[in-house]
């Protein structure tokens, strides 16, 4: 393939300075991962950018606008109209407590630390209701039931039932593993 020269591209833009700006912006886009509109042919991204400009595969106006936007030092920001700092009444003298970092800069508390939580007022009736609902609902067996349960069960029977439960659990785990 023939080499791309500046003369091939200069007709597509107003000035050589704009060509440099547009070619740089397109090469930056290609470096960031944007797919080229042409075959790479083992060329570098700057050559591909010039080839795309020469063949008019990219819009020069869009590249110019994108490059100019990126080069602006002051970008206009949309104001939402709410300034939290003024509402809180921040000023340096009230915030600064005399703490200084190792680098010598004053340490200011964060906004989260400055906002005090609202106090919750709970009545005695609410506390009584909460304490009642927090009590567990456990029915204690009567003494007669406890005695009959203790008389009917022997130590051997308890150990046999535990062994059966262990065997059943082992069989279940073996069946689930296979």
| 22 is a domain residue | yes
The predicted-structure confidence for 151-177, as pLDDT tens digits, reads as follows 566 778 878 888 888 887 777 666 666
| 93 is a domain residue | no
| 83 is a domain residue | no
Asked whether 2 and 44 are in contact (CB, 8 A), the reply is no
Q: Any long-range contacts for 121-125 (C-beta under 8 Å, 24+ apart)?
A: none
Give the separation between CA 68 and CA 132, rounded to whole angstroms. 69
| Tokens coding 127 | 């506390």
The predicted-structure confidence for 49-76, as pLDDT tens digits, reads as follows 999 999 989 999 999 998 888 888 776 6
> What pLDDT shows up at residue 24?
93
Q: Please tell me the pTM assigned to this model.
A: 0.41
Higher pLDDT, 101 or 163: 163
- CA–CA distances in Å: residue 73 to residues 29, 63, 125: 20, 18, 62
CATH number of the domain residue 21 falls in: 3.90.940.10
| 41 is a domain residue | yes
Range of the domain at 11: 6-71
| 33 is a domain residue | yes
How would DSSP label each residue in 54-105? HTT-S-HHHHHHHHHHHH-SS------S--HHHHHT--HHHH--S-B-TTSP
CA 98 to chain centre: 34
Residue 21 neighbours by CB under 8 Å, 6+ apart: 63, 64, 67, 68
DSSP 32: T
SS3 content of the chain, % helix, strand, coil (to 5): 55, 0, 45
Number of domains forming the structure of the chain: 1
């Amino acid at each position: 393939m023939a080499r791309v020269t500046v003369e091939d591209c200069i007709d597509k833009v107003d000035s050589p300075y704009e060509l440099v700006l547009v070619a740089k912006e397109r090469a930056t886009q290609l470096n960031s991962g944007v797919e080229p509109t042409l075959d790479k042919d083992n060329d570098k991204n700057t050559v591909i950018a010039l080839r795309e400009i020469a063949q008019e595969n990219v819009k020069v106006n869009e590249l110019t606008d994108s490059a100019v936007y990126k080069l602006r030092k002051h970008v206009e920001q949309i104001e939402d109209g709410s300034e939290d700092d003024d509402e809180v009444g921040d000023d340096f003298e009230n915030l600064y407590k005399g703490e200084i970092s190792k680098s010598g800069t004053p340490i200011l508390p964060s906004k989260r630390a400055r906002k005090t939580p609202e106090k919750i007022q709970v009545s005695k009736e609410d506390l009584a209701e909460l304490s009642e609902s927090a009590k567990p609902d456990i029915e204690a067996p009567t003494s007669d039931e406890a005695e009959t349960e203790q008389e009917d069960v022997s130590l051997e029977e308890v150990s046999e039932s535990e062994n059966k439960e262990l065997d059943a659990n082992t069989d279940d785990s073996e069946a689930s593993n296979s």
